Amino acid sequence: MARWLLLLSLALGSLAEPRTGTFSKDHVLPSKGVNSIVHDSSKVLTSETTAAPTSGLGGTLDDDDLYGTDHTGCPKAFQGRCVCAMAMYANQGEKFVVNCTNTRFTDPFALSALPDNTEVLIFTGNFLERLPPNLFGTEFNFDDLETIDMQNNGITDIDGQAFHRVSSVKTLILNHNNLSIVDKQRHPRVFSNFVNLEALHLTNSFTEKVDARWYMASLEVIFQGSKLTKLKKLHLEQNEIWVLRDPCVFAHLPSLEQLYLSNNRLTDVNLSAKCLPKLKHLGLEYNMLRRLDANTTAMLDELAARDDMFTVRLTGNPFICDCNIQPLYHWLMTTQTRALEHEKYRCYAGRPLTNAGRPIMQLREMECQQAPARASAASVILGMLTLAACVVLVGVIFVQRRRLARGAKNLQPQLQTAIENVKRSRQYTNIEREEEAPEVAV
């Protein structure tokens, strides 16, 4: 009897033990082979354990279904499509990585069972439209989670309460999505729980259905509401940005050190150095910059004077090397600012025409086309002469009309007398006709 009581107490004790979400880090994959975890969303998992694509689980599952692990090292909620293991990640050493690359999930339900000791989450190349509230569930605090990579998922909407318990995350990657952030329903504090975020990747992240100037304005509101005071690196490449309307658009990122704006459509650099107090690098490659004016070069020098390690990159812009390129040319020749690869800055076109293709640093002649200027001056002179002729013509017509009016006034008495004489002559003629005797027929 005592034996049965002991077994019963042990069974009850095991049932009373709280469930933990921590998964064994002893599940280590080889550094090479079909199951290797790599930071490359273009690579498809080739593990034989990868399940056939289905839609998200959905429904209500018990703890064993959600959190029990299978041979992939992941919870069963991941349907055998992912790999959960210790692996080398992005020069950061060995990390516990949950890798769901190109696993064709159509909803993020599996993430509600994310192991709480996850250090790196790679959930890329899937088919998600919306990230719902409490994306990672409400069960655990993810104190070890440092990196979230959710690029190339087709995400259009992120709920304002999607990311909770992510205070330890330092890197958030949302590249190559289709985000819409200008709707009034979009939450301005969408990143507010990333209190320790240091790197935000938004390369090619926004919908092309909205003018870039509007989502840049929305981004400013999001930065202000999310209070990303520790953010050091911001990637905004390939977003069709053609104008920065507010020179202090990044003022709410006081720790920003690296700003990447390459492969956009910027025609000028409307930024204020005072609103970028800690900036160390500005990437402006492959935009539509044809020249840099004196205000822009002064802004770059101000940033460099503040930090002698400041660098700027301007390669790949279509510089027009005529007389208007002189501010940039003289700046490159004299500045202490470190313009990276400045020897590769080349002329897309210019005057003389031989400047095309030549490195800016090797320019000897910088001319402006004179013919249009002469034609313009001739047009102005012709216009002035035409206007003067019109004024003279109007004056002549006015004077002639006055003369005619005066002449008509002087002739009026004579005309009146002539008219009266004509009337009298008609009266005399009528009287004579009346006095003639009528002929009578016999």
pLDDT at 295 over 90: yes
Q: What is the pLDDT of residue 180?
A: 85
Closest CA to 120 of 100, 140, 141: 100
So what's the pLDDT on residue 121?
98
Q: What is the pLDDT of residue 370?
A: 66
Classified as helix, coil or strand, 376 is: helix
Q: What is the pLDDT of residues 141-188, one digit of tens each?
A: 899 999 999 999 999 999 888 998 899 999 999 999 999 876 655 667
Determine the average pLDDT of the residues in 64-72: 73
Is the pLDDT at 331 greater than 50? The verdict is yes
> How many CB atoms are located within 10 Å of the residue 38 CB?
18
Q: Which residue has the higher pLDDT, 36 or 161?
A: 161
User: Which of 228-232, 353-357, 399-403 is predicted with the least confidence, judged by mean pLDDT?
Assistant: 399-403
Q: Is 240 left (phi over 0), alpha (psi -120 to 50) or beta?
A: left
Number of neighbours of residue 109 by Cβ within 10 angstroms:
21
Residue by residue, DSSP assigns 401-412 as HHHHHHHHHHHH
173: burial class by Cβ within 10 Å (0-12, 13-18, 19+)? Answer: buried
Predicted pLDDT of residue 109: 92
Structure confidence at residue 97 (pLDDT): 97
Nearest to 86 by CA among 24, 172, 168, 169: 24
Q: 227-247 as b/e, with b when 16 or more CB fall inside 10 Å?
A: bbeebbbbbbbbbebbebebb
Q: Is the pLDDT of residue 392 over 90?
A: no
Q: 3-state DSSP call for residue 313? A: strand
- Please, what is the average pLDDT of the chain? 80
- Terminal alpha carbon distance of the chain: 179
Of 72-86, 209-223, 256-270, where does mean pLDDT reach its minimum?
Answer: 209-223
User: If residue 319 lies in a helix (H) or strand (E), which one and from where to where?
Assistant: strand 319-321
Between 328 and 425, the more confident residue is 328
Q: How confident is the model at residue 424 (pLDDT cuts 50, 70, 90)?
A: low
CA dihedral 404, 410, 413, 418 (to 10 degrees): -60
As a whole-number percent, the residues of the chain with pLDDT over 70 amount to 72
Candidate from 144-158, 236-250, 401-415 with smallest mean pLDDT:
401-415
Question: Quick count: other Cβ atoms within 10 Å of Cβ 342?
Answer: 19
- Which among 363, 361, 368 has a CA at the least distance from the CA of 342? 361
Residue among 150, 91, 86 at smallest CA distance from 118: 86
Task: Identify any residues that bridge with 85 across adjacent strands, giving them in sequence order.
Answer: 97
* Contact assessment for residue 99 and residue 122, using Cβ atoms and an 8 Å cutoff: yes
Q: Is the pLDDT of residue 12 over 80?
A: no
Q: Rounded to the nearest 5 degrees, what angle is found at the Cα of 374, between the Cα atoms of 373 and 377?
A: 90
Residue 52, pLDDT > 80, answer no
**Backbone phi and psi for residue 192, each to the nearest 5 degrees, phi listed first:** -70, -20
Distance CA 337, CA 303 (A): 8
83-88 and 94-101 as β-strands: parallel, antiparallel, unpaired? antiparallel
Tokens of 3: 């034996």
pLDDT tens digits, one per residue of 159-169:
888 998 899 99
The pLDDT of 382-410, averaged and rounded, is 74
Tens digit of pLDDT for each residue in 78-108?
999 999 999 999 888 999 999 999 999 999 9
Confidence category of residue 218, pLDDT binned at 50, 70, 90 = confident
pTM: 0.72
Q: Is the pLDDT of residue 231 over 90?
A: yes
Query: Exposed, middle or buried: residue 405 (CB in 10 Å: 0-12, 13-18, 19+)?
Result: exposed
Q: Give the three-state DSSP class for 262.
A: coil
Closest CA to 351 of 335, 363, 334, 343: 363
CB contact at 8 A, 316 and 347: no
Token pair recorded at residue 272: 């204020």
Count other Cβ atoms within 10 Å, centred on residue 151. 20
Amino acid at 196: N
| Location of structure tokens 């492959």 | 286
CB-CB contact of 300 with 312 (8 Å)? yes
Burial 367-383 (b: 16+ CB within 10 A, else e): eeeeeeeeeeeeeeeee
